[in-house]
Structure 1
């Protein structure tokens, strides 16, 4: 994928082919789930440590950035987590290689659900309300997991007909 075609977030995360391959390691996928709960806790810590909360917030942001680079390339991509990451790459490349409409609609709906749940988390963190924060985090994680499951399906559908996508399989 050319630099010009990469999404803003992909460019921000500096995700090149090597980083994507390392991120396809299931350890990277599963440990990445810790990001939002840790970020919420770091933001919540402002009531205990004041401005020093910026330190754990920065540490969590660093964790989120370094996570896809931390693990070795997977020995095999024949697993749910690896295929989810490969599917995300297919999704990000959808402007270059069209994807089936059903996958596009499902991903859009799950992204909307994730966005609404993220707003609930933000609200909970602003007003320091435990239940909205926890409910929002739970819903974000559920929506993200469902989205990743759809990415597995997308990858499997697209790899059948696309040699580039097939080449990512090991």
Structure 2
């Protein structure tokens, strides 16, 4: 079982949770959590250990997020199709074939590189790796959502 699939099960991603997570508000507020988490971690500079409070709040939001918005039963929006595609991909990786598999690997590498830069920037409190890393993570995720939306459309 993949790490992502284990994570999805650990945070209670039932069929209903996936439908709720497909709500565009769920997707876009998760993206909004990226700068909030950066600010929360960066705040250690002036809050010290108290910075763990905003970090914990963002983590709690990220765990609750897929469960709080109304369910989307018929994915009509770009984000909803992407989340439905992500669910398909997590349950059956063989659905992504050929060049699409190569693009998925590229996007995972892009996101991983972005995360590494982001982590370096946050540890060192350096602006350029933080911003560049967050940008790579965001671009990688948006592109993944797009590709997974195409997967959903091809397999519905």
Q: 1:94 aligns with which of 92, 95, 101?
A: 92
Structure 1 outlier segments of 4+, above 4 Å = none
Q: Provide the rounded CA distance (Å) in 1 between the counterparts of 2:134 and 2:105.
A: 19
Q: How many residues align?
A: 155
Q: 2:138 aligns with which of 138, 141, 153?
A: 141
Give the TM-score normalised by the residue count of structure 2.
Answer: 0.92
Q: 1:121 aligns with which of 100, 115, 118?
A: 118
Q: Please list every run of 5 or more consecutive structure 1 residues that lacks an aligned counterpart in the other structure.
A: 160-170
Q: Greater CA radius of gyration, 1 or 2? A: 1
Query: RMSD value over aligned CA atoms?
Result: 1.7
Q: What is the 5 A alignment of 1:1-170?
A: 7-74=5-72, 76-95=74-93, 98-159=95-156
**Cα shift at 1:76:** 4.1
Q: Please list every run of 5 or more consecutive structure 2 residues that lacks an aligned counterpart in the other structure.
A: none
Contact 1:99 1:158 in 2 (8 A): no
Give the TM-score normalised by the residue count of structure 1.
Answer: 0.85
Q: SS at the partner of 2:96?
A: coil
Q: Name 1:165's counterpart in structure 2.
A: none
